[in-house]
């Protein structure tokens, strides 16, 4: 029996956007009645249980950082239709990263910013590897926000990059390799 998409999302405990993506990708069947989508909860549940988990759910810190990054874009001359902005908005709306392509866009954006952060503030940059909790992040961010707003933004980008890679860089390109070399170098120095 098919029920309203919104009710199915609540029952299954998944974002509506995730079910909409399944419809868009023709992974589940649906009915469109009076402008509302109806889906079979059992079919969605079955698909969720059989599909390999190749996406990442955003935690509160990641959502906060994406919101702040999108807010920063409003005050720059960045074209609001730029691919990075579209991807960030989609990921934030869904609450998760759907595929490797989205992950690559986000890692590419944040890793490029981080190389600039390292060049501008190398002594501060190395401190960020010691952040262990959300509380550590927010305390340091507030300190930077009051003393140097550039550092505040760079710190946000660092934490997002670290979360996207789970501390280990899986997508290899020139920028991520440089960041890993910097990280390894500073860990050896502090040991």
pLDDT tens digits, one per residue of 52-69: 444 678 888 899 999 988
Same structural domain, 86 and 119:
yes
Same structural domain, 32 and 111:
no
- Residue 39: per-residue pLDDT: 94
Work out whether the CA dihedral 140, 145, 150, 152 comes out positive or negative.
Answer: positive
Residue 168 sits in which domain range? 56-190
pLDDT averaged over the chain?
A: 82
Cut 0.95: pTM above it: no
Same structural domain, 82 and 169:
yes
CA distance 191 to 177: 21
> For the chain, how many structural domains are there in total?
2
- Residue 3: per-residue pLDDT: 92
Same structural domain, 99 and 164:
yes
Same structural domain, 64 and 99:
yes
Task: For 142-178, write each residue's pLDDT tens digit.
Answer: 999 899 988 988 998 888 888 887 755 555 667 777 7
Q: How many CB atoms sit inside 10 A of residue 164's CB?
A: 22
- Residue 52: per-residue pLDDT: 44
């Amino acid at each position: 029996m098919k029920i309203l998409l919104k009710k199915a999302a609540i029952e299954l405990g998944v974002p509506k956007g995730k079910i909409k993506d399944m419809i868009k990708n023709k992974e589940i069947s649906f009915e469109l009645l009076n402008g509302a989508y109806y889906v079979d909860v059992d079919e969605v549940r079955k698909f969720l249980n059989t599909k390999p988990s190749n996406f990442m759910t955003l935690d509160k810190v990641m959502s906060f950082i994406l919101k702040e990054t999108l807010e920063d874009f409003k005050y720059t001359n960045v074209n609001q239709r730029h691919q990075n902005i579209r991807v960030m908005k989609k990921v934030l709306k869904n609450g998760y990263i759907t595929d490797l392509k989205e992950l690559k866009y986000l890692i590419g954006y944040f890793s490029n910013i981080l190389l600039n952060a390292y060049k501008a503030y190398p002594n501060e940059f190395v401190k960020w590897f010691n952040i262990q909790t959300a509380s550590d992040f927010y305390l340091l961010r507030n300190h930077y926000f009051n003393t140097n707003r550039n550092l505040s933004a760079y710190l946000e980008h660092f934490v997002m990059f670290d979360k996207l890679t789970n501390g280990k860089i899986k997508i290899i390109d020139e920028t991520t390799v440089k960041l890993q070399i910097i990280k390894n170098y500073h860990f050896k120095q502090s040991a």
